Amino acid sequence: MSAPDLTIPAARRRQDREPWTMERIIVHALLILFVLLAIGPVLIVIINSLKTTPAIFGGPFDLPTAKTFSLEGYRRVFTRGNFIVNYRNSLIVTVTTIGLTVVLSTLAAFALVEYRVRLASLLGGLFVLGIMLPIRLGTIPLIQMMLAWRLMDTLAALILVYTAMSIPIAVTLMVTYFRTVPTDLKEAARMDGASELRTFWIVLPLVRPGLAAVAALTMLPVWNDLWFPLILAPSRQNQTVTLGVQQFVGQFMNDYPALLAALTLGAVPLVLLFTLFSRQFISGLSKGYSK
């Protein structure tokens, strides 16, 4: 408790001691208003998922009391739903996609920055264009490809499509990070007789923030996507969390405690991850799309 927080610059500490001017009060008031608007609905879901059905309808905005508290919804989600399988599928798809995207785009971005031949700028441009590419519009040929390769209704189909979807922004983002690596370091490595792959390994720790940004940026659209799970992996054993919750909502229309529990379980992991990685996500978003 006693150690002063040295990470906050002096200018900011000064602000903390500034008087509460009218302008400052208005800024805080507006932000608090928007925060309530942003998290209010989420809190309603979480709070009501912990109550009995009559309590949900009797006072949807009340906190659970000893009398109205109930975990029945959660119990029913796990007995009737398919949550463990859904979670496993979403984890496999998201983690593998992130892994593949990080590895492939890092290799590509290193080379695009390193070997300044004409082709490199052409390829770089091709990846930048891909950021704008609405990949869903290729769904019909994708279905036919997956059918032909016997990948229809598999998690592999999702992973391949999501990796392709994530690569353009990931490559573009990693290029901006590799540009900041000093040339001296790479030349020194080569002088020592390091191979190109070895040089890549030596440089890699310097672009670590970029790897985190790519991971944070890839995770969100993949975990929350509804379109491709619906079309490429719809069967019960291959459903992701997003699709699983969607179907659960359709099936148990009137079981509100279970529905709200399912929604809470579907949302919590990503909300937590983003609270932890928001910095990486923000830098990824701004650097990646600002090309």
Partner 1 sequence: MISPAAAYRNLLLFVLPALAVYLVFAVLPLATSIVMSFFQTSGASGDTFVGFANYVRLFTHPTISARFWNALLNNMQYFAIHLIVEVPMGLLLAALLTSGKLARSEGIYRTLLFIPATLSVVIVGFVWRLIINPLWGLVGFPLLGTESTALTTISLMSVWQYFGIPMVFLYSALLAVPNELVEAANIDGAGGWTTFWKIKFPLIAPQFGLIAILTYIWTFNGFDLVFALNGSAPGPNYSTDILGTYFYRTFFGSSGQLADLDLGSAVATVIFLTVLLVTAAYFWLIQRRLKSYSV
Site for partner 1 in 210-269 (CB under 8 A): 220, 223-227, 230-231, 241-242, 245-246, 249, 259, 263, 266-267
Q: Does 15 bind partner 1 (CB under 8 A)?
A: yes
Residue 66 or 253 having the CB closest to partner 1: 253
Q: Residues in contact with partner 1, total (CB under 8 A)?
A: 93
Nearer to partner 1, 66 or 122 (CB): 122
Q: List the alpha helices (DSSP H) in 50-154.
A: 53-58, 72-80, 83-114, 118-131, 139-148
Residues in region 145-174 near partner 1 by CB under 8 A: 145, 160-161, 163-165, 167-168, 171
Binders of partner 1 among residues 100 to 119 (CB under 8 A) are 100, 104-105, 107-108, 110-112, 114-117, 119
> For residue 135, how many other CB atoms are within 10 A of its CB?
16
Q: How far is the CB of 266 from partner 1 (least distance, A)?
A: 6
Which of residues 4, 54, 134, 205 is near partner 1 by CB under 8 A?
A: 134
User: Given the complex with partner 1, which of 61 and 66 has the nearer CB atom?
Assistant: 61
Q: Which is nearer to partner 1, 92 or 249 (CB)?
A: 249
Nearest in space to 214 (alpha carbons), one of 78, 86, 103, 115: 103
Spacing of C-alpha 145 from chain mean position: 27
And the tokens for 179? 């540009």
Q: Which residues from 272-291 bind partner 1, rule CB under 8 A?
A: 273-275, 278, 281-283, 285-286, 289-290
* Helix segments in 149-255, DSSP class H: 155-178, 183-191, 196-203, 208-224, 227-232, 241-251
Q: Compute the chain's Rg from CA coordinates.
A: 24
User: Burial, 35: exposed, middle or buried (Cβ in 10 Å; 0-12, 13-18, 19+)?
Assistant: exposed
Q: Which stretch in 37-45, 66-74, 77-85, 206-214 sits in contact with partner 1 by CB under 8 A?
A: 37-45
Alpha carbon distance 254, 221 (integer Å): 29
Minimum distance, C-beta of residue 240 to partner 1, in the bound complex (Å): 10
